[in-house]
Chain A
Amino acid sequence: QKEVEQDPGPLSVPEGAIVSLNCTYSNSAFQYFMWYRQYSRKGPELLMYTYSSGNKEDGRFTAQVDKSSKYISLFIRDSQPSDSATYLCAMSADNTDKLIFGTGTRLQVFP
């Protein structure tokens, strides 16, 4: 079983749609959960950072962590063509710097 699993997509949605992106993981030691956005030929850009379980909202983005199910989600409301990118989940455990990434989900929002 892979440590972090993420559906690679591509996911294609119309402008204005609600997008749901997900990752599952196997390591119960993970406590820190991040979502990054990566445009073509660019580095990962931090979108959301959460610790342990719960929800966090920032503008059109909501991150959810369910540690009991080892499942994290990123919701994008009112999606825009500029949201078209690859979305990477990443996570780490206490007392380690190492981020474990998912493979990324490619999202395309069409006008």
Chain B
Amino acid sequence: EVQLVESGGGLVQPGGSLTLSCAGSGFTFTRDWMSWVRQAPGKGLEWVANIKQDGSEKYYVDSVKGRFTISRDNAKNSLYLQMNSLRGEDTAVYYCATDGVPAGLNNWGQGTLVTVSS
């Protein structure tokens, strides 16, 4: 069974930094692209970033470019999202997902909440 478990969320002040992690199990981690998707309170889903199997390609939504960095450690079956210069509008539940490009985001974690507030 595919499992994705996010961690690292919490309360952070505006301008601060946070790193999210996503541990994968039950599948061949190197098979898939991986994505981060977020959902702000009361809002819809927003795709944030994705990364190719070997880390050689990365893409970001415009609103996080230059502030967030996606990375992965295939030896640890783990995906990361380094978030810097955090803003109130980054407050959201962050999900990691396997990205079966072009077959959609086919497995999702339960999410981790990031709250940016003073």
- A and B from one assembly? no
Query: Which residues of chain A have a CB within 8 Å of any CB of chain B?
Result: none
